[in-house]
């Protein structure tokens, strides 16, 4: 998985870069899991330091239950904006977890006994 970020309009492909003291910098986005995740994080370089970036990534859990409230092993078909597709089953617990999903970039459906329900995570990112 390649990760890079944009700082003041320049793509940086490694975890460290040289910054000038007392200069204003903006990290516009990071490139993560095949897509740009906007950050617009601003800071001033004062001393040698580590700058930690917090990206809007979320853990998502999809669950399916029957009309009686019991978990169902439904099939799931999900597509991420970077083109990755996932076809799987929720399992006996009726639950599947996704980690570090960029906000607003996942959609598809859950199907059980011929009934399909859409799953759309939409956001401003």
Higher confidence at residue 121 or residue 101?
101
C-alpha of 69 from chain center: 29
Q: pLDDT class for 60, splitting at 50, 70, 90?
A: confident
Asked if residue 101 lies in contact with residue 59, where contact means CB atoms within 8 angstroms, the answer is yes
DSSP for residue 57:
E
Query: What does the alpha-carbon distance between residue 59 and residue 97 come to, in Å, rounded to a whole number?
Result: 7
Query: Any residues with CB less than 8 A from the CB of 63 and at least 6 apart, and which?
Result: 71, 90, 94, 95, 96
**Prediction pTM value:** 0.60
Q: pLDDT class for 27, splitting at 50, 70, 90?
A: confident
């Amino acid at each position: 998985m390649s990760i890079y970020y944009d700082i003041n309009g320049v793509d940086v492909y490694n975890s460290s870069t040289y910054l000038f003291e007392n200069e204003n910098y903006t990290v516009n986005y990071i490139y993560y899991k095949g897509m740009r995740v906007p950050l617009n994080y601003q800071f001033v370089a004062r001393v040698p330091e580590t700058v930690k970036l917090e990206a809007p990534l979320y853990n998502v859990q999809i669950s399916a239950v029957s009309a009686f409230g019991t978990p169902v092993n439904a099939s799931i078909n999900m597509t991420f904006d970077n083109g990755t597709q996932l076809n799987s089953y929720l399992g006996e617990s009726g639950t599947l977890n996704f980690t570090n999903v960029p906000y607003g970039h996942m959609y598809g459906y859950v199907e059980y006994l011929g009934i399909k329900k859409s799953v759309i995570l939409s956001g401003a990112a």
